[in-house]
Amino acid sequence: MPHSKHLSRPSATALPPVTTRPRAQAGFTLIEALVATALLGFSLIVMFGFHNQAVRSNMHARKMTDCTYLAQAQMERLMALPWSAATGTPSDLSDGMTDATGDWDYLEHPSSGAAPTQMNSAMEYTDTLGATEYYVTWDVEDMDSSPTWVRLRVRCQYRDEAFNQWHGTTVSSYRFRDS
């Protein structure tokens, strides 16, 4: 039997021819490009927000470290003052009987509870080595009637202008008379 080039099928079961349109160019559609750009923009906005928060947190941590250093340095100064029965109580170690009542009130020394002179992180009252933004105050509380020992509290604080809040640290210790 001779082979024919075309086999015939019944017309009832014939499938329609599949037609494909060739793409004009390979690449992304406009919608795909817009979605990708929107996702990239959103991601960058979130990353910049995290970066801004990290910068603020680092600045706060630096200021808290400076405050702790300043409070501890003042405590060391107070602990090193000579105090004996013969010399009497130094004025920096006298109890002025004006205790702070609020959370961030200034303590009684050095200016009787009023705002003291601001200092920078180098313990200077000038801005040559940084902004003067720290307040260091201290309180002395007699622990007995013939002052032979006292409780010392040293507070360093600063005002966070961005949130209008006080931050800082308080260091506490006991001091006994030398003799």
DSSP codes joined into one string, 70-116: HHHHHHHHHHHS--BTTTB--GGGS--S----STTPPPSBTTTTS--
Where do the structural domains in the chain lie, given as residue ranges?
33-176
Q: In the predicted model, is pLDDT for residue 40 greater than 90?
A: yes
Given a cut of 80, whether residue 8 has pLDDT beyond it is no
- Distance, CA of 124 to CA of 133 (rounded, Å): 11
pLDDT value at 25 more than 70: no
> The whole model's pTM is what?
0.69
